[in-house]
Amino acid sequence: MQIDALKNERLALWKKNLSSFWSIYSQNTMGLIGLVILIFFTLMAIFGPLLVSITTMSVDGVTQVMHPPTSGFWLGTDDLGKDILAGVIIGSRVSLLVGVAATAISMIIGTVIGIVSGFYGRAVDALLMRITDVFLVIPWLPLMLVMAALLGPSLGNIIFVIGITSWAGTARIIRSQTLSIKERPYVERARAIGSEDSHIMFYHILPNVFPLIFANTVLVAAIAILSETTLSFLGMGDPTRVTWGVMLHFAFSMGAVSHVAWWWLLPPGICVVLVVLSFTFIGYALDEVLNPKLRRRDQ
């Protein structure tokens, strides 16, 4: 009975927090635009590949390569006469999937290292933060390129490489928040009744750093999407999978630039920019919701 009541109370609290969060967030034009773009591309990634297939454009049995847009092929064709619009739609799925998976890996590593480092302090903290600093200072693209080249081109490797190189910023932020949370009375109370370290970290500290994780995820996701595009463009992607980066790689190496084949070069890039921009917009909006100091006083 009592547990049920507690559950209901917690649920009500969640609901209240969520609705107050939304009432601030929904006033932010940038945040709303970002959310709409992101939902659009998510739907495209889920349903797009089911609805379209890549066809080849041919006239009288002759394949039409690098053909400008027509009424049947809205974004023209590539060097093999294949439909670019269909490629862009199908490419959205793997592009976003790589971004989401790499972000998840990065957030898990960053959060665990940040919490453990901040919670235990001393030698553990010194060691983990030194490693974090090394990852912060190493230029990210060369590190990712070297790792990707050594592991070989595959989707899994790309995800792993992006995830393992982009967690350092998150770890720093989570650590500093953990340092302040672990001094709070309820953590001391939990320790006094004999809670284990892992219990305290998981049930008392993690929920309280969650807003930070949430805000940071958005920024890491933007970096992950950009990284996938760049790695694939530089030839580290899986050439058998269509992603926006792989499309740009082939466009560049097959001479789309000298053909001024803008219908091939622009669309995949614009998709990347829109997705990254949507994450950036959402990040800005979250910053304003979570950090009241940034809210404008005259509004």
Partner 1 sequence: MRGYLFQKIMQAGLTILIVVALNFFLFRIMPGDPIRVLIRNPKISADALERVREQFGLNEGRLVQFWIYLRDLFSGELGSSFNYRQPVIDVIMERVPATIMLVGTATVLSIIFGVLLGVILAWKRGTRLDIVGLSISLILYSMPTFWVAIIMVMIFAVYWQIFPLGGMGMPGVFYTSLWAELASKVGYLFLPTVTFALILVGEYVLIMRSSLLEVMREDYMLTARAKGVSNRDLLRKHALPNAMLPVVTLIAINLGFIVGGAIQIETVFSWPGLGRLMYTALTNRDYPVLQGLFLFVTIAVIVANFCADILYRYLDPRVKS
CB of 224 to partner 1, least distance (A): 13
Examine residue 138 and tell whether it contacts partner 1 (CB under 8 A). Answer: yes
Examine residue 130 and tell whether it contacts partner 1 (CB under 8 A). Answer: yes
Q: Residues 248-287: x/- map of binding to partner 1 (CB under 8 A)?
A: x---x----xx-x-x--xx--x--xx--xx--xx--x---
Options 13, 36, 43, 134; binder of partner 1; rule CB under 8 A: 134
Examine residue 233 and tell whether it contacts partner 1 (CB under 8 A). Answer: yes
CB of 125 to partner 1, least distance (A): 15
Options 75, 147, 158, 187; binder of partner 1; rule CB under 8 A: 147
The residues in 150-179 that bind partner 1, with binding defined as CB under 8 A, are 150-152
Q: Closer to partner 1 at the Cβ: 52 or 100?
A: 100
Tell me how many residues contact partner 1 (CB under 8 A).
42
Give how far Cα 163 sits from Cα of 132, 144, 211, 223, Å.
14, 10, 20, 10
Give how far Cα 189 sits from Cα of 10, 121, 204, Å.
20, 19, 11
Options 164, 206, 234, 254; binder of partner 1; rule CB under 8 A: 234
Examine residue 85 and tell whether it contacts partner 1 (CB under 8 A). Answer: no
Examine residue 140 and tell whether it contacts partner 1 (CB under 8 A). Answer: yes
Give how far Cα 3 sits from Cα of 10, 11, 209, Å.
10, 12, 25
The residues binding partner 1 (CB under 8 A) are: 130-131, 133-134, 137-143, 145-147, 149-152, 222, 226, 229-230, 233-236, 248, 252, 257-258, 260, 262, 265-266, 269, 272-273, 276-277, 280-281, 284
